[in-house]
Amino acid sequence: MPEPFRILVINPGSTSTKVAVFENADEIFSESVSHSGDDLKPFPRISDQYAMRFRVIERTLEEKQADIRRIDAVVGRGGLLRPMVGGTYLVNDRMLEDLKKAERGEHASNLGGLIANEFARKIGVLAYIVDPVVVDEMEPVAKVSGLPELERRSIFHALNQRAVAKKAAEKLGKPYDTLKLVVAHLGGGISIGCHKNGKVVDVNNALDGDGPFSPERSGGLPSGQLVDLCFSGNYSIDEIKKKLVGQGGMTAHLGTNDLRKVDDRIRSGDTRARLVVDAMVYQIAKHIGASAVVLNGRVDAIVISGGLAMDAAFIGGITEKVNWIARVLVYPGEKEMHALAEGVLEVLKKGTEPKTYVG
C-alpha cells in the first residue's frame, strides 16, 4: 500500500491565519491564529503582512512538532487573480507576479499562493491553489449589466461553495456535475451561486457588488441614492468603499457584525435589531428565489453553509421562505481547509492534471 500523502494547507483571512496538515483527507491538526487590529496596524498594505504571516505559520508548525520534511505538497487559498475556471492550479511565476501586484484588489487571500510557494520552495515540493475567489464560469448573459462599462464580475466563496455542493451531491446520491443547485454561503460576506452541471453559471459579486446585505457588506444599493452619497462631499472614496465592505450591512445598522450579540438584543426586545435581521433573511431568501429562476425552477437542492448557518433561528427563517422551491440542506461553518487538501489530493492520489494559470 502506498504511503499516505501529507499536505500543508495555508488559508490567510482578513483577521486570522489558518494552517493545517492533512494526511490524505484526514486532518492531523488545524490551527487558527487571530490577528488583532494592533497586530495588523503596522502594515499599510495587505501584501506587507507577508513576513509576519509566514512567521506565524512557521511558529505554529514548530509548536505542533510538524516535520515539514514529510510534506508532499503545499496549498494556499487563491486570491484576487484574473478570472479562471474552477479547479486545482499549480502556482507558477505568472501567478506569483499577479498576486504581488494585486491589480485586481487587495485581499488577505492574495497571500495564500505567495506563502504556499515559499514553503514549497523551502521543502522542495510543489505549491498549489484551489478554486480561488475569482472562479468565473458565468454564462455570458449573466455578465451583462445596464451599462456596458460595468460588466458583472464573478467574485465569491468558490472554494466553500464547491465543497458543500459536492457534499450535497453525496447526500443526494448523484454526481455533482449532473445536478442543479442553489448554494448560499452566509458569512461576513454572502454569495449565492447557481450550480448547473458542475459549473457556477451565475453568482453575485460577494466582495463589493450586488446581492443581499451581510453582517459586514452593504450588498446591492439604490443606484441613484448611492451616486448622491458619493458626490455629497461628506465622504472620501476610501470611506465610501468601507461603507460597502467592512462597515456596511448589519454593522452599519447595529454597530456589530456578530449575529449572536444581535440575537441577544432581539431577546431583550430591541425591535430595530429584529427588523434588520428579518431584512437580511428576506434579502437572502429573495436572492435564492431569483437563482432558482436562473435554473428554470428545476432545483435539486438549496445548500446553505457559512458561519451564519450555525444560527438555527436565522436559517429557519430562510428555510421557511424557500423550502417550497427544493429541499434545503444545511452545512454550518466552512469546509475550506478540507476543500484545499482534497483539491490537491485529486492531483497527488488520482493523477488529475493540475490547471495552468496563464493570466
Tens of pLDDT, residues 270-302: 999 999 999 999 999 999 999 999 999 999 999
The model's confidence at residue 2, banded by pLDDT at 50, 70 and 90, is low
What percent of the chain is predicted at pLDDT more than 70? 99
Query: Would you place residue 38 in the very low, low, confident or very high pLDDT band (cuts 50, 70, 90)?
Result: confident
pLDDT of residue 15: 81
Q: Which of 208, 310, 335 is nearest to 259 (CA)?
A: 310
What whole-number distance in Å separates Cα of residue 3 and Cα of residue 266? 53
Task: Flag whether pLDDT at 3 surpasses 80.
Answer: no
User: Cβ(10)–Cβ(75) under 8 Å?
Assistant: yes
Per-residue pLDDT, 39? 86
Q: Is the pLDDT at 1 greater than 60, yes or no?
A: no
Burial class (CB in 10 A: 0-12, 13-18, 19+), 193: buried
Residue 145 phi/psi, 5-degree rounding, is -105, -175
Decide: 33 and 14 in contact? Cβ < 8 Å: no
CA neighbor of 266 nearest in space, from 226, 311, 217: 311
Distance CA 282, CA 332 (A): 19
Residue from 131, 128, 47 nearest 83 by CA = 131
Cα distance between residue 27 and residue 21, in whole Å? 6
- Would you place residue 243 in the very low, low, confident or very high pLDDT band (cuts 50, 70, 90)? very high
Query: What average pLDDT does the segment 325-353 reach?
Result: 92
Neighbours of 147 (CB within 10 A): 8
What percent of the chain is modeled with pLDDT above 90? Answer: 86
Digit-coded pLDDT (tens) for 185-211: 999 899 999 999 999 999 999 988 799
pTM of the model: 0.91
Sketch out the chain's domains with CATH numbers: 6-137+336-356 (3.30.420.40), 158-332 (3.30.420.40)
- Distance CA(302)–CA(3), nearest Å, equals 38
The grid coordinates of residue 108 equal 488577505
Nine-digit cell at 152? 458583472
> Which residues on adjacent β-strands are paired with residue 331?
305
Residue with cell 483571512: 13
Rg (CA), the chain: 20
What is the rounded distance in angstroms from the CA atom of residue 310 to the CA atom of residue 44?
Answer: 34
CA 112 vs. chain centroid, Å, equals 13
Q: What is the spatial distance between Cα 55 and Cα 43, in angstroms, rounded to a whole number?
A: 15
Given a contact cutoff of 8 angstroms between Cβ atoms, the answer to whether 262 and 273 are in contact is yes
**Surface-to-core class of residue 101, CB atoms within 10 Å of its CB (0-12 exposed, 13-18 middle, 19+ buried):** exposed
**Which residue's C-alpha cell is 478554486?**
131
- Give how far Cα 87 sits from Cα of 17, 59, 198, 274, 288, Å: 23, 30, 11, 40, 25
Give the range among 2-6, 138-142, 146-150 with minimum mean pLDDT. Answer: 2-6
